[in-house]
Amino acid sequence: MQKNNPIKNKSLVLGITGGIAAYKAAELVRLLVKANIDVQVVMTQAACQFITPVTMQALSGKPVYIDMWDSSISNGMPHIELSRQADAILVAPASADFLAKLMQGRADDLLSTLCLARDCPLLVAPAMNKQMWENPATQRNVAQLQADGINLLGPDSGEQACGETGLGRMLEAEALLRLVNAHFTPKLLAGKSVLITAGATLEMIDPVRAITNLSSGKMGYAIAQVAADMGAIVTLVSGASALNAPDSVNTIKATSSDAMYKAVMGQVGNQDIFISVAAVADYRPSAPHAEKIKKSNASLTLALSPNKDILAEVASLPKAPFCVGFAAETEKLLDHAEAKRQAKKLPLMVANLVSDAMGDDDNTVTLLDKNGAHPLERAPKSVIAELLLKHVVSML
């Protein structure tokens, strides 16, 4: 069985500088630790005015470093020792003053010295008032930092602690976690185009009623996000789903099975990979009512017509992309899924039980290809997405 947690064993130095957004760093540490990233917190003296090292120590489970002359570092050189151990340094929040310092290559406290002495990537999440962000001096500094290869995460736009609204506030912890994950994800799909369907279809009976199913879209959206993190150009054709469109993905809404078919056929031309995760209705009402159906005491019969099988049609195209199907079953999982794989002529089918998958944040799947069954451990859908895409890459 393949292990989950592909980004396990990554280690990050999280630098916190003085700004009100330092309170968001507490939630960020919690999320990073939960994602199995090893976090070493380093704070500036100014950061300690906004949040205590005790909080950060409790959340990261490690002593927090602040002082250049910390005697607890064995070789007496924390700037070398800490940066050597890290896969990346993230400074969040990064104040205007800290960005200026970084730009100049100054090293007058532990965090700035660590950044100057690093041999790993540096990511910074600016956080400041909008006037400070817009100031030509900050803009000059940011342009130079980017030219120096430093990754800028944000800033975000919106309401600020000072009461103004504009660009400059730090990205939320969830968004930063996503970007850190993206940073640590190997770019295995660079240059590849990936088309994904996700969510449920809606087949209208009348203007207010529809035939649909319980698919949440979580699995397909997770695959779209991870494929983008792996460097692919991703197009997501989404049926009904309450989720927000993933970052860096071209999302097309198509709620009926017919609209989804047309959207997929319009996009499939130059795709390298097609992953059909959507729970597409097999039937639609033959004659949807133009007006709302009024109740009566007589029984009502709904005539249904079969829909096109989008995946089977794509797989039979003369220049078909590499096609992956999803089989959601209630019984005889592997038998049904393998029969579908062969019937639809797919190199790869993902088999999952309806009870394990639908609506849940986690999933338990088995990958089926010509070499047999590859069961994956139950894991968050983002982890399943990464393992699935790695399997696809190994088969390409």
CB-based burial, 279-306: b 16+ in 10 Å, e otherwise: bbbeebbeeeeeeeeeeeeeeeeeeeee
C-beta neighbour count of 376 within 10 angstroms: 21
Report in angstroms how near the CB of residue 337 gets to ligand CTP at its nearest.
8
CB-based burial, 129-167: b 16+ in 10 Å, e otherwise: bbebbeeeebeebbeebeeeebeebbbbeeebeeeeeee
Name the residue nearer to ligand CTP (CB basis): 141 or 255: 255
Interaction site with ligand CTP (CB under 6 A):
197, 257, 276, 278, 280, 282, 307, 309-311, 325-328, 340
48 as an active site residue: the answer is no
Name the residue nearer to ligand CTP (CB basis): 13 or 200: 200
How far apart CA 222 and CA 243 sit, in angstroms, is 10
Residues 6+ apart with CB under 8 A from 370: 347
Q: Which of 48, 115, 120, 162 is catalytic?
A: 162
Report in angstroms how near the CB of residue 71 gets to ligand CTP at its nearest.
60
Residues in a beta bridge with 169: 156
Report in angstroms how near the CB of residue 59 gets to ligand CTP at its nearest.
41
Nearest of 357, 359, 358 to residue 376 by alpha carbon: 357
Phi, psi of 67 (to 5 degrees): -100, 135
Name the residue nearer to ligand CTP (CB basis): 42 or 311: 311
Name the residue nearer to ligand CTP (CB basis): 41 or 346: 346
Name the residue nearer to ligand CTP (CB basis): 107 or 334: 334
How far apart CA 273 and CA 348 sit, in angstroms, is 11
Report in angstroms how near the CB of residue 227 gets to ligand CTP at its nearest.
16
Report in angstroms how near the CB of residue 343 gets to ligand CTP at its nearest.
7
The catalytic residue positions are: 162
